[in-house]
Structure formats: C-alpha cells, structure tokens
Amino acid sequence: MLAAVLAAGDGEGFHAPGIEEFYPGALLFEGTIFEINRIMLVRFVMVALLALFFILALRRAKLVPRGLQNVAEYFLDFVRLHIAEEILGKGAARRFLPILTTFFFMITALNLAGVIPLLNIAGTSLIGTPLVLAIVAWIVFNYAGIKAQGFGPYMKSNLLPSGVPLYMAPIIVPVEFVSTFILRPFALTVRLLANMMAGHLILVLFFSATNFMFVEAGSALLAPVGVLTLGAGFAFTLFEILVAVLQAYIFTLLAAVYIDLASHAEH
C-alpha cells in the first residue's frame, strides 16, 4: 500500500513525519538561549491555561465547593490522596505535596497540548521539560534522603545495601550508583519524552496521511483509505489523552517512590 501511495504521489510523494517536527523555526531571539519557537509558545499557552484554570477555580474558594472548584479539588485530591499520601504517608506527603502537585499538573497540561487543536504538539515532546523535571526530582529525592539519614548513611544505604558482603563492593557500588543516581532521572526523562514524541508522530502520520489520501493523491480509490486513517487518528487522539494523564501520573508516582525510598534506610 505504501509503495502504491508513494508511486501515486509521483513528484512530491508522501512525507512521513520525522524528527524535524520537534524543531520548528525560531520566531524570536534565534540562536540565543531565549529562542522562542512554536513549541515554546505551546508551553507558555498551556502554563497560562493551567494558571487561569486554578485561579478561576480557587479565586473564591468556599467551604462547600461549587462548579470549577469541585473539579480543581477533585484533581488536587487525586495527587494528594492517591500519590502523595499513599506513597509517602500523611506527614511526608504534606512536605512534598507542592513539588509532586507541580510535577503532575505541569506534565498533564503540557502533554494535553498534543491533542488540543491548533496547539497540536505536547510541550513535553522536547527533551528540555522532561529533563528539567527529572533533575528537580533527582535533587528532591537526594535532598530528602540526606535530610532524613545524613549524607554518609544515605550514600551507604544506597550504594552498599546492608547484608551485602564487603568483597562484593567493587561490583555493587558502581551498579547501585548508576542505577540510583543516573538511571532513575534518565528513565524518568526518556519515558516521558519518548511517549510524547511517539504520540505526536503517530498523530501527525495519521492526519497527514488522511490529508494526502483525500487531497493530494487526487485519486478516488484512496479516499476509503483516508477514512481509515482518519478513524485511526481519532482513536489515537483519545489514546493520547489517556497517555497524557497516565505519563503525568507515572512520573509523579515514581518521584514520590524515589523520595520514599531515600527517606528510609532499609529497602
């Protein structure tokens, strides 16, 4: 089928979306650290919408919630009860709730941009945001561990778990070091980034294919295929909404788990 499509396209042909999707042209300050392109604008829009939503919802917060306040409290309670308190317990949950809530809502908002018409790309599909958030998570869980145990005991409990014989140290210590201090933030970053990149590429693929079948191919034979790709694109849009929230949940949950692991010597 693809061969047929490419053959039918003759001159230009069909362009499968590639990595260039994530590097649109600069709009402002090109070449500087302040460069603003389309994806940066999407991030700003989503941050503004997130702020607008919570300001409207909680501007006149009442004891008995109504309307938007109900919705906002529902989501906030989700993070508070099902992530923070479930993993960390009530006491630590209160300390780390601001950072966990920030993770969850920032990732959800930027992820959802991928399925919002006109924005159409997730703010997290470029490595910067996942990386910044993972680095913050890394700083927070190490801070929690050092605060709870002290620097020496914290490093020891992470690098050489109790019960491991000393002659194993040359193997265990590097493995544990890489796994705890490098792979954890790396996995957090890549899991989120790859999910959002892949989601975006799939959606672009289906919708650009639909456009190609209906408009550019100029053949009535390909129209039914266009219907198929349109349906698939719609289905994947719904799936991307799920993925958007799920990835935010996973990132926040893992951050909470890392904080919890760091706060307790034995694990």
Applying the rule CB under 8 A, the residues between 86 and 145 that interact with another protein are 97-99, 101-102, 105-106, 109-110, 123, 126-129, 131-133, 136
* Closest by CA position to 259, among listed 127, 106, 97: 97
**Closer residue to another protein, CB minimum distance, 136 or 228:** 136
Q: How far apart, in whole angstroms, are the C-alpha atoms of residue 245 and residue 267?
A: 29
Q: How far is CA 128 from CA 22, 28, 114, 248, 262, in A?
A: 12, 18, 16, 16, 25
Minimum CB separation of residue 170 from another protein in Å reads 30
Site for another protein in 195-224 (CB under 8 A): 197
Burial level of 186, CB count in 10 A (0-12/13-18/19+)? middle
Determine, following the binding rule CB under 8 A, whether residue 236 of this chain makes contact with another protein.
no
DSSP 8-state class, residue 26:
E
Query: What is the C-alpha end-to-end distance of the chain, expressed in Å?
Result: 53
In whole angstroms, what is the distance from residue 86 CA to residue 101 CA?
14
Query: Residue 137 in contact with residue 252, Cβ under 8 Å?
Result: no
Among 1, 2, 63, 166, binds another protein (CB under 8 A): 63
How many residues at the interface with another protein, by CB under 8 A? Answer: 50
Measured from the CB atom, the residue of 95 and 156 that comes closer to another protein is 95
- When binding is defined by CB under 8 A, the residue of 9, 24, 38, 47 that contacts another protein is 47
Residue numbers of the site for another protein (CB under 8 A)?
15, 18-20, 22-23, 29, 32-37, 40, 43-44, 47, 50-51, 54-55, 58, 61-63, 65, 72-73, 76, 97-99, 101-102, 105-106, 109-110, 123, 126-129, 131-133, 136, 190, 193, 197
